[in-house]
A and B are shown apart, each in its own frame.
Chain A
Amino acid sequence: MSSKISLNQLKAINSKYNIFTSIRNPQAITKVESGSLSNTTFSIKDNFTTTTEPTTCSSKILNNYISPFDSTVAKLLQQNGSIMIGKTNMDEFGMGNSTLNSFYGPTLNPLYEQSDNLVKEYEEIKSWTSSSNGINTSISTTPLTASSPNEHIKEQTYIKPILNNDYKVHDGMRIVGGSSGGSAASVCAGLVDFSIGSDTGGSIRLPSAYTSTFGFKPSYGRVSRWGLVSYAQSLDTVGVIAKDLDTVGKVFQVLDMEDKNDPTALKEGLRSRDDKLTSGAGETIKIGIPSEFNLDDLSPVVKQAWLKLLTSLNDSKLVDIYPVSIPTIKSSLPTYYTLVSSEAASNLSRYDGIRYGFRSDEFTGNEPEFEKTRSEGFGEEVKRRIILGNFSLSSYGYDSNFMKASHLRGQLIDEFNSVFYDRNLLSTNTYEAKGVDFIIVPTAADLPSLLKDFVDIEPTKSYLNDVLTIPSSLAGLPTLNIPYGGKSIGFQIMGQYGSDYKVLKFAEKVMEVVKS
């Protein structure tokens, strides 16, 4: 499953689609020969910390910020033999579904033609790490000298794409989706075997659908968030994008372990690895179709593909299909945006320019320096969500917005629990073993927008693109995007909380059916 391409080939493709925020210098790569992922390559979204290159979240406020520690995910993958190629572009701090909201320019969709180069050149940038024995590690963008014999100075370089001031995007170019757009694009363009993304409200599944790849968002807490820069950590999950299910499964197995550093990690005792698809022998798999997902503005092309998928599954005798209802899905969009912006406003309050990252170095008698720093360091969408979030958390909005949204989220989870056959591992409510095994719904309501149309769309209207992916994020459910129905169309397979292996197993069966 290995894809090996030269640095020059990678640069050539990246120059057109602007996929990477930084590329690892081949000299900085240390190979581990053994491991279940040996001979594979991967990219990782630029909101996971790594020590060799910057971790920017595609934001000016973290421009050139190099973390002194590696995320658990990056560490595990490399320990298991996979080779890290670079960090991928994203919507700033995960806020968006297009990968256009980036300080480093847009990522384009490799499924569509692009002739002009967005990137004009590549710069090799040096940085220095000093680590003395113990907890203190410092990283500098100016040369360091050792101040004690215990101190080790390491010089390293990474390759940074530099954007053209002016470039032309092809008229037929469609958005790649987001926020893990760079991750999906790196897989789609064949630059890596798999990519690690984060998914808060659909950030892995939507770009997977738009790039016709597999994108898996595991159950909440299943993969360690240590080193993932928080956006909204009651929803943030870590997942995998790849061109084949086998790779998705192998990577997930490596990452599926409890991490003591992550307070929200699922306890080892609650990690079911059962992949038996039905409760009893000879029974068919039950598929639920929630009526609330059958939106009025579902495009005919997606609707037809959905129907075709369900028909062939039904004909194969693999599944029985049932209509189900999850009424609170109708409130999930405002619920999600209230919670996500509240958590983001809180999490992003640490970026004040004092300890790391961008600093304006300007202050007047009227405003403290951090105000200027934040107003220049954050992009428009980030600022919009911080303002929205702060309103929801203020004494005016707390009960009417934040608490109400929290309540609706609980209600939504209860409704999902009543629809699934399996028990929710975290639920203490009474439970009846009846219901469906999986839910199959579209990932996006339509084909990806043309880029030239999307740039003019109102922010709140763009939020509507998340309506199909948000419910499983709010409920923390394992959900996989499978490519089906044509270029840039995908469907989600959702299972009960904790049934990640069942979802992956069932997806294999579905792919067998649709291929035959």
Chain B
Amino acid sequence: MSLNRKLKIGLEIHTQLKTTAKLFSLSPNSTSNLSTKPNSTTSFFDVSLPGTQPKLNKEALLLALKVAVALNCNVASVSSFDRKHYFYGDQPLGYQITQHYKPIAKDGYFKLSKRYDNIPEDKTIRIEQLQIEQDTGRSLYRSNHSNIDFNRSNIPLIELVTKPDFTSTLEVKQFIKKFQTTLQLFDICTGELETGTIRVDVNVSVDDHPRVEVKNVPTTSGIANALKYEYSRQSKILDDLSESDLKNLSVETRGWDGKTTYKLRSKESSVDYRYVPDMELPLIKLNVDEIIPRIKDSLPPTVDQRLEELIGGYGLKLRDALVLLNDGDMLQYYKELVESCRSHGLKLNPINWLVHEMAGALTKSGMTFTSQLLTIDSFVQLLAVIENGKITIGNGKLLLLHLINNKEDQVKSIESLISEFELGKNNDGIDIDSIVTKVLEENGKVVDQIVKKGKKGKLNYLIGLCMRVSEGSVDAGVFEKKLKEILEL
């Protein structure tokens, strides 16, 4: 089987908008909150009672325009709603109100780069169109029947369709991540795939043969796996087909069960949606030249702008910058910490201590980060004694763990804590000579191997033993120096 075939991928992404009310009614939008009692946030229109009519929620329109701006799209001065017909138990109107003929925005792009997105080459993904539409209810399948929860019915969605510009799974993953982060930063969507606030369909074509659509893959890793599976499945089919058979290939829709894709329908059984302009919803008319600049001004910095501040401005690695970007609280804490370190004349960048050591200590304690856990002042004092070599890194970590778990000690000075717990480095009460002598006496064999057979690597073993006896209160370098001195190495 040849895996050198050309891969082309396009995405269709459905995003629930974080509005207060639903798209065409006043019932609350419970978006990702799956614990809401079924059928409790439904209005008469949401279950399509006879005699009800839709009324466009302007908040949904505003959020849709923010998405359009984030994706650099051309916003239409006139757009309109259409009906897409199909029967399904969780589709209460018998049609979905969507935008088929005149969508809200078209022809945008979203950039992925080496610097911010960890991909080998810079890449621009073109956006074909954006449309506002209604979500459907949720079918809950039971053994011999299904229940329907209409809470999701009529929640506003944005459907985004990309051009088939992706050529690798990595690009797809990074695009989805960046899009999610953008939605969260702009407060457009909660941005989770797991709860279905973002749903992704992927279109895969191998060597420009008719595309295969894989619908509703629930996680980013699932998407990557489904893509890999489809690539090898389609490649294998192409390997086995003759020239004449290749002409008979046609568009197909498939599902994903977590391991493999399976056929849902082919071109022959595709649905004629009978699109028709909705006859009661008014056209959306926008003064684009006036509104779009105002929306642009209202938006906070983009993902790339924020990453540049952290990478270029604070000298962080992309990996660490992403950790901060995804936790606004930690980001703010970091900036204050840096500021305070500078004013105390410290040279070290506290990023490692924050995103690695502190995160490690939190995991050990079964806690998650909040800016209230450790005062900036306490943290800076700790970093100062470490930078000045007053305590070892190991003891610094111990003290950090202690401070997080004993908030009352954060008011004490670090110096007093060091002496209270005897964490000071190489100080009174510890006799380096006698520790080293004792270890050498007890390990004659090892000493022989080092001195007589030249196995210098064994020295580390002796250093480790010395450290153990001193309970880590002395730097390893001190013992190394002493051992070398005695053994004349």
Interface residues of A (CB under 8 A from B): 48-49, 55, 57, 62, 65, 67-69, 71, 135-136, 225-230, 232-234, 260-264, 342-343, 345-346, 348-352, 354-356, 368, 370, 390, 393-395, 398, 402
- Report B270 CB to chain A, min CB distance, Å: 10
**Assembly CA distance A22 to B56 (angstroms):** 35
Instruction: State whether A68 and B279 are in contact (beta carbons under 8 Å apart), knowing that A349-B85, A349-B94 are contacts in the complex.
Output: no
In chain B, positions 392-421 with a C-beta closer than 8 Å to chain A are none
Cβ–Cβ < 8 Å partners of B249 in chain A:
none
* Size of B's binding interface in residues, CB under 8 A: 33
How far does the alpha carbon of A55 sit from the alpha carbon of B281 in the complex, in Å? 24
Q: State which of B50, B56, B89 has its C-beta within 8 Å of the C-beta of A229.
A: B50
A-binding segment of B40-48, B369-377, B381-389: B40-48
Between-chain CB contacts (< 8 Å), 26 pairs: A55-B51, A67-B50, A68-B49, A69-B44, A69-B49, A135-B26, A225-B53, A226-B51, A230-B50, A230-B51, A232-B279, A346-B85, A346-B94, A350-B48, A350-B50, A350-B93, A350-B94, A352-B89, A355-B47, A356-B49, A368-B87, A370-B87, A393-B85, A393-B274, A394-B272, A394-B274
Residues in A whose Cβ lies below 8 Å from that of B95: 346, 349
In the assembled complex, the CB of A348 is this many whole angstroms from the nearest CB of chain B, namely 8
Q: Which residues of A contact B282 (CB under 8 A)?
A: 263-264
Find out whether the CB atom of B85 lies under 8 angstroms from the CB atom of A264. no
- In the bound complex, do residue A49 and residue B50 qualify as a contact, i.e. CB atoms below 8 Å apart? yes
B86 to chain A, nearest CB (A): 9
In Å, the complex CA distance between A393 and B85 comes to 10
Closest to A227 in B: B51
Contact between B93 and A264 (Cβ–Cβ < 8 Å)? no
- Asked whether any CB of chain A lies closer than 8 Å to the CB of B54, the reply is yes
Q: Are A263 and B54 in contact (CB under 8 A)?
A: yes
Q: Which residue of B lies closest to A356 (CB)?
A: B49
For A67, give its contact among B43, B51, B272 (CB under 8 Å): B51
Query: Which of A261, A398, A402 meets B55, CB within 8 Å?
Result: A261
Q: What residues on A are CB-neighbors of B27 within 8 Å?
A: 135
| Cα distance, A369 to B55, chains bound together (Å) | 31
Q: How far apart are A189's CB and chain B's nearest CB, in angstroms?
A: 27
Q: How far is the CA of A431 from the CA of B275 in the complex (A)?
A: 34
7 tightest A-B contacts by CB?
A: A349-B94, A393-B274, A234-B279, A229-B50, A227-B51, A49-B51, A350-B48
Report how far A343 CA is from B94 CA in the complex, Å.
Answer: 13
B141-178: CB near A (< 8 Å → 1, else 0) gives: 00000001000000000000000000000000000000
Bound complex: CA A402 to CA B51 (Å): 24
Q: Are A352 and B94 in contact (CB under 8 A)?
A: yes
* Nearest CB on A from B121, distance (A): 41
Which B residues are in CB contact (< 8 Å) with A350? Answer: 48, 50, 92-94
A398 vs B101: C-alpha distance when bound (angstroms):
13
- In contact, B272 and A261 (Cβ under 8 angstroms): no
Contact between chains at B55 and A263 (CB < 8 Å) = yes
Cβ–Cβ < 8 Å partners of A393 in chain B: 85, 274-276
Q: Given the complex, which residues of B lie within 8 Å of A348, measured CB to CB?
A: 94
Main secondary structure of the interface of A (DSSP, over half): loop
Closest to A49 in B: B51
Within 8 A of A (CB), among B26-47: 26-27, 40, 42-44, 47
Q: Does B280 sit within 8 A of A, measured CB to CB?
A: yes
Which secondary structure characterizes the binding site on chain B? loop
In the complex, the chain B residue whose C-beta lies closest to that of A224 is B53
Tell me the minimal C-beta distance from A475 to chain B in angstroms.
Answer: 15
Query: A351 to B91, alpha carbons, bound, how many Å?
Result: 11
Q: Bound complex: CA of A71 vs CA of B53, how far in Å?
A: 11
State A335–B38 Cα separation when bound (angstroms): 44
Residues of chain B contacted by A356 (CB below 8 angstroms):
49
1/0 per residue, CB under 8 A from A, across B91-110: the answer is: 01111000000000000000
Which residues in A have their C-beta under 8 angstroms from that of B93? 349-350
Closest beta carbon of chain A to B211's beta carbon, Å: 20
Is there an interface contact between A229 and B40, defined as CB atoms closer than 8 Å? no
Contact A263 B53 (CB under 8 A): yes
Closest A-chain residue to B47, C-beta based? Answer: A355
Q: Is B126 an interface residue (CB 8 A)?
A: no
| Bound Cα distance from A348 to B48, whole angstroms | 11
Return the chain B residue nearest A339 by Cβ. Answer: B279
Q: Which residues of B contact A57 (CB under 8 A)?
A: 50
Smallest Cβ-Cβ distance to B43: which chain A residue: A135
Least CB distance from B22 to A in Å reads 11
> B199: CB under 8 A from chain A?
no
Could you list 15 further interchain pairs (A-B, Cβ under 8 angstroms) beyond the known A62-B50, A348-B94? A69-B44, A69-B51, A135-B26, A232-B279, A233-B53, A261-B53, A263-B53, A345-B274, A346-B95, A346-B276, A350-B48, A355-B48, A370-B87, A393-B275, A398-B274
Q: Please indicate the chain B residues that have their CB under 8 angstroms from the CB of A232 in the complex.
A: 279
CA distance A121 to B54 in the complex (A): 40
Which of B26, B43, B44, B95 is most buried by chain A, counting CB atoms within 10 A of its CB?
B44
B87 partner, pick from A234, A262, A263, A349, beta carbons under 8 A: A349
Of chain B, the residue at the smallest CB distance from A263 is B280
Measured between alpha carbons, how far is A261 from B94 in the docked complex, in Å?
21
| Min CB–CB distance B85 → chain A (angstroms) | 6
Complex Cα gap A393–B89 (Å): 22
Contact of B40 among A49, A136, A225, A349 (CB under 8 A): A136
Which B432-446 residues sit within 8 Å CB-CB of chain A? none
Q: Return chain A residues, CB-CB under 8 Å to B92.
A: 350, 354-355
**What residue in chain B is nearest A228 (Cβ atoms)?**
B51
Most chain-A Cβ atoms within 10 A of its Cβ — which of B50, B93, B274?
Answer: B50
A90 CB → nearest B CB, Å: 14
**B residues near A65, Cβ cutoff 8 Å:** 50
Judged by a CB distance under 8 angstroms, whether B83 is at the interface is yes
